[in-house]
């Protein structure tokens, strides 16, 4: 890919568009009172997804961009669980009784630091307060370095049916540079324990663009991962934002690959996975041919949400825990990011909503356009506008950024139908940004 094109569109600096508008637009104008009203308006006959943020790790990974707390003790986790149970009760009192649930996701941090008995009790509470479907997808993120046999047994007993393992890189040089030393054997053992207990749907998270990473080490990591045959792999680009994440200041910036090298690494990993029989899903996911994501992509119903690509057609998510984001019918809400502030609100019997965003009709139209671009690499703008009862002229009447993308050969545009060229799909976020009315930043 041409270096000049990469530099011009500054792809690494753009939002990932898992939600739109992005969190940068959230405001304290939307708080606990608005969240209560939105929860009360949820239709009793429509399933929702639940997301739980467990913000604890045993050690700090220098690349991490998520809200988390480092603890060697179990007592902070137990204290957090007590608050989380209160939040479940508070939310449960606002939503229609026994609201149906189709998906549950435990993210972090490291959710599997929760003791087995505590995790089982938490799932029991969920099933009492919500009508969790017998066929619900229940997923947990796992750090293989701290994963135990007892935890594996507890996950299976609680109905967990998908596990997402953080791998990032199998290269020991890269692992040392990001303070996450994790052997191939540790990952392999975690996969074996899960499968032995019936948790057979396995995801791996990999990252390119890390310090000291090379195309060769990326290919080797992908090859090693393929040998364990996970159902899905997410291959993310490392986002270096040390001004926001202090732990990233521990990374030597001189060892980070530049934009052309990142693009080469991403392409090499994608080619390795595709050659091994995986199908590319959207911008950064890969799945086996019979996986739900692959089937959703074929059917044109692939979705994108705060966790990445999904086959889940539910539009509503309730978030629990510090920093958790919810997507309710009227807009987005986010809990207090700092764990202490979150706990104070819940212990005072108040929802922990710190900020959010009320969606306008135009926001919904733009979100739909961006989602289709991120999922399908093409979008029929007039068709989406008409579906929402919206005039397409505001989107195509003065398309300076879109015209520039077309002129540079990134996209093809014909009567409002936009298609990202195959060789430029790496720049899809730059295309989506053409419809982001809040971005406002000029091209570099």
Q: CB of 328 within 8 A of CB of 48?
A: no
Token pair listed for 383: 């068709």
Cα-to-chain-centroid distance, residue 49: 14
User: Which domains, and CATH codes, for the chain?
Assistant: 22-327 (3.80.30.20), 361-435 (1.10.10.920)
Q: Beta 285-287 vs 232-237: how paired, if at all?
A: antiparallel
> What are the C-alpha distances in Å from 391 to residues 7, 110, 360, 361, 381?
34, 45, 14, 11, 10
Question: How far apart, in whole angstroms, are the C-alpha atoms of residue 220 and residue 251?
Answer: 22
Distance CA 250, CA 60 (A): 11
Q: What pLDDT sits at residue 444?
A: 33
Mean pLDDT in order along the chain per 10 residues (444 residues):
65 81 96 97 94 95 88 94 98 93 95 97 97 95 97 97 97 97 97 97 97 98 98 94 89 93 94 98 96 94 89 86 95 96 98 98 95 96 93 71 90 93 90 88 40
The span from the CA of 404 to the CA of 444, in Å, is 13
Concatenating the DSSP letter of every residue in 114-142 gives: S-HHHHHHHHHHHHHHSEEEEEEEEEEEE
Residue 105, classed as helix, strand or coil, is: strand
Q: pLDDT tens-digit profile of 24-80?
A: 999 999 999 999 999 999 999 999 999 999 999 999 999 998 878 899 899 999 999
Contact 275, 223 (CB under 8 A): no
CA distance 98 to 122: 16
CA-based angle 333:338:342, to the nearest 5?
A: 65
- Coil, strand or helix at 254: helix
Burial of 350 (0-12, 13-18, 19+ CB in 10 A): middle
Task: Give me the pLDDT at residue 441, please.
Answer: 45
Strand order in the sheet with 48-54: 279-281, 285-287, 232-237, 201-208, 162-168, 131-142, 100-108, 48-54, 317-320, 325-327, 331-335, 353-358
With beta carbons less than 8 A apart as the criterion, state whether 367 and 338 touch. Answer: no
Where do we find the tokens 């936009």? Answer: 418
Cα gap 390→382, rounded to integer Å: 9
Tokens of 78: 């137990």
What DSSP character marks residue 27?
B
User: What confidence tens digit (pLDDT) does each residue in 379-389 have?
Assistant: 999 999 999 99
């Amino acid at each position: 890919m041409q270096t000049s094109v990469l530099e011009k569109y500054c792809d690494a600096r753009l939002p990932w568009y898992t939600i739109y508008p992005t969190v940068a637009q959230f405001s304290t104008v939307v708080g606990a009172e608005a969240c209560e009203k939105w929860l009360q308006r949820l239709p009793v006959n429509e399933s929702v997804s639940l997301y739980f943020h467990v913000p604890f790790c045993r050690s700090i990974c220098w690349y991490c961009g998520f809200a988390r707390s480092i603890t060697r003790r179990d007592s902070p986790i137990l204290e957090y669980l007590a608050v989380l149970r209160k939040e479940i009760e508070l939310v449960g009192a606002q939503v229609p009784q026994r609201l149906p649930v189709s998906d549950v996701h435990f993210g972090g941090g490291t959710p599997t630091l929760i003791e087995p008995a505590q995790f089982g009790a938490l799932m029991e509470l969920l099933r009492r307060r919500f009508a969790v479907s017998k066929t619900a997808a229940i997923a947990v993120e796992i750090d293989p370095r701290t994963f135990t046999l007892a935890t594996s047994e507890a996950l299976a007993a609680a109905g967990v049916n998908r596990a997402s393992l953080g791998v990032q890189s199998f290269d020991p040089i890269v692992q040392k540079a990001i303070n996450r030393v994790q052997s191939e054997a540790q990952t392999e053992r975690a996969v074996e324990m899960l499968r032995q207990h019936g948790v057979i749907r396995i995801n791996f998270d990999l990252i390119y663009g890390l310090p000291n990473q090379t195309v060769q080490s990326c290919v080797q990591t992908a090859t090693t991962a393929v040998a364990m045959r996970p159902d899905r792999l997410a291959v993310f680009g490392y986002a270096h934002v040390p001004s926001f994440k202090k732990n990233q200041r521990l990374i030597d910036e001189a060892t980070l690959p530049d934009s052309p090298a990142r693009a080469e690494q991403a392409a090499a990993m994608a080619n390795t996975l595709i050659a091994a029989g995986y199908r590319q899903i959207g911008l950064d996911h890969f799945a086996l041919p019979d996986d739900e994501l692959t089937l959703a992509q074929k059917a044109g119903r692939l979705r994108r949400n705060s966790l990445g690509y999904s086959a889940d057609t539910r539009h509503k998510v309730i978030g629990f825990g510090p920093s958790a984001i919810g997507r309710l019918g009227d807009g987005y809400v986010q809990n207090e990011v700092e764990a202490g502030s979150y706990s104070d609100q819940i212990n005072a019997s108040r929802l922990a909503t710190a900020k959010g965003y009320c969606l306008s009709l135009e926001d919904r139209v733009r979100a739909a356009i961006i989602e289709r671009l991120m999922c399908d690499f093409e979008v029929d703008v007039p068709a989406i506008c008409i579906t929402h009862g919206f005039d397409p002229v505001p989107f195509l009447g003065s398309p300076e950024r879109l015209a520039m993308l077309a002129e540079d050969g990134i996209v093809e545009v014909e009567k409002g139908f936009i298609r990202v060229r195959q060789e430029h799909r790496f720049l899809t976020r730059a295309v989506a940004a053409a419809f982001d009315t809040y971005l406002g930043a000029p091209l570099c």
